[in-house]
Amino acid sequence: MENEMIDKIVQAEREAKDFEEEAKKNKEHTIADAEDIAEKNRLQFEAEKKTLKERLDESTSQKNKAVLEQYLAESQSEINNLKQKVSDDKNSAITLVMSLIS
């Protein structure tokens, strides 16, 4: 009976030790898994951040291009108006000279 109790105590201690080792392994695996997940999330975040920055840069570039195209169109219109004014002034000068000659 006494040997049986000792065997049960020894068995219980072995089981407790095995359980403790298993818990330690599970904890290590859980920490490693959590670190892996954190690294994957960090990499995904960096990739998304890069993609968003590229989109923002592209959007900004397109907006800048649109502004420059608008400025170019306005400048071209202004140039055309000035050309027309020069032509009108030239014609007026010719008319004035012709009237003075006559």
Domain borders along the chain are 1-71
pLDDT band at 49 (very low <50, low <70, confident <90, very high): very high
Instruction: Say how far apart CA 20 and CA 12 lie, in whole Å.
Output: 12
For the entire predicted model, the pTM comes to 0.49
pLDDT of residue 26: 84
pLDDT of residue 99: 87
pLDDT of residue 28: 85
C-alpha gyration radius of the chain: 43
Q: What is the mean pLDDT of residues 40-63?
A: 94
Query: Is the pLDDT at 102 greater than 80, yes or no?
Result: no
Instruction: Say how far apart CA 21 and CA 89 lie, in whole Å.
Output: 100
Instruction: Say how far apart CA 88 and CA 81 lie, in whole Å.
Output: 10
